[in-house]
Structure 1
């Protein structure tokens, strides 16, 4: 209803204004008011018509320059968006790296605070072989960097008047251990050698195959090392080189009493006499060296008998089945003083 009233009012106003303008009874001021009302109605009608015409007009096409400007604006927006993503990713990577460094430092501090535990395992081959003994355990550093390491190739010995070694060996109790690396024979007390006015007691003897020592480049099939110690803890090693020949009685006694399992020990009721191991001729080479197994301590007096001791092929074959290889390679002997008896 309201929508019908408004047009009617407007029409009435227009008619009144038109008639009033020519009516002589209407005052000039009233005529002006009526003209204003009519003008306003006309203005409203004209404005509506213009808006209708504008809405129905087609959109203006962009010029090439405007299109280029719009494309540049879009590209710039995409670049800024991509840069923002890259900056965020970089910041995340930096934060992750910093956290990783912090965690690693904390872990390293925890490990450093732990007590050091080093291996005591070594062998004659592989990663735990002689080339790495000095790296496996710091206590074995001499094995890799010592100046007086054994065994050596005995060459260019100085022939001098060496005193004869005094042997005070006698029949003794013993036990035999297969320690996983060699056959070791512990000997009862009271067996001594005297050399250089110093007395050393025999503690044990053991075997290596092939011989660790060489004489002018020549090696031997096996060697027996007799370990002696004096009252101050100094060591003297007596090396007996073995060659094939007749059966050796002391070695046979040891073989007769081998334990049946590795790492076991046999304690026989019989005795053996270390004197029966010695060659008939007692000439020898001597030099300062080291133990040939870890920790390779130096300051060891070495005595290598010139005359080999014979052992039967069967005796050597038995040991070779147990230990095909248990010898440390020859070490440099440069700068070493080697003496030999005439």
Structure 2
């Protein structure tokens, strides 16, 4: 069975899991467009060199792929009243202790739920309306990213509640009641697996991705709520280069 999990440094995890306001990352501002946009990330900080020089960058177009067996996944995410945080580049849900995922025989803790518009990854050149990224860690040195695409369709009650409490400016807004993040997973068990990077500075590599093939649906009006706050917060697609993209059923 192919083993995917790789190590990332504690400093990188700190950056990912403690994203600050607009002036975060210990130096110059980075954005998703303009003079501090993705094409300039590597020039803003020496630590961002991989954003331009890396050969295993994310996101990618999920093709071509190889059919393969993949490690089993088991989710044990707990309902809770997530604080919704606007950090100036995105909105995310901060997750309390107790929600876990098993990838093969290894257990990871769910830390954050990030939202991007449009989807960062593409399928056959097409990006869905949004992408939800579930950030998991094992201790301080292992990282597993689980992604779910969102397309316009039927209303998803939990997604609607999360978007309804997304802060429109820098700050935090707690949900008034507990919501179950398991309802943000699709019914289909098909997933893509590949080795990539963080999709934001410092673009560190050796990050492994689990991306659900089937999207979930959400009301267009709820998607538009996020777009009013952040019309675009997705990194451009990166070359797949010599990597292997696998597709299987967990």
Structure 1 length-normalised TM: 0.63
Aligned to 1:275: 182
Is this contact kept in 2: 1:174–1:187, CA < 8 A? yes
Matched, 1:287 2:194: yes
Does the aligned pair in 1 maintain the 2:55–2:241 contact within 8 Å? no
What does residue 322 of structure 1 align with?
229
Indicate the residue corresponding to 2:243 in structure 1: 336
- Structure 1 269/321 Cα, relative in aligned 2: closer, same or farther at 3 Å? closer
- Gapped runs of 5+ residues in structure 1? 1-117
- Structure with bigger RCO (C-alpha 8 Å, 6+ apart): 2
The residue aligned with 2:96 is 188
Could you say which residue in structure 2 is the equivalent of 1:176? 84
Q: Which has the larger radius of gyration?
A: 1
Preserved contact between residue 173 and residue 188 of structure 1 (Cα < 8 Å): no
CA distance in 2: counterparts of 1:196 and 1:148, whole angstroms: 23
- Measured against aligned partners, the alpha-carbon deviations of 1:75-94 in whole angstroms (never above 9, x if no partner) come to xxxxxxxxxxxxxxxxxxxx
Greater helix fraction, Structure 1 or Structure 2: 1
Residue 228 of structure 1: CA displacement?
0.7
Q: Deviations over 1:41-88 (max 9, x none)?
A: xxxxxxxxxxxxxxxxxxxxxxxxxxxxxxxxxxxxxxxxxxxxxxxx
Corresponding residue of 2:211: 304
Partner in structure 1 of residue 161 of structure 2: 253
Bigger proportion of residues as strand: 2
Structure 1: how far apart are the matches of 2:239 and 2:103? 26
Alpha-carbon distance in structure 2 between the residues aligned to 1:218 and 1:125 = 20
**RMSD between aligned alpha carbons?**
1.4
Task: Name the counterpart of 1:58.
Answer: none
- What displacement does 1:194 show? 1.2
Please report how far the alpha carbon of residue 233 of structure 1 lies from its aligned counterpart in structure 2 after TM superposition: 2.1
**Match in the other structure for 1:162:** 70
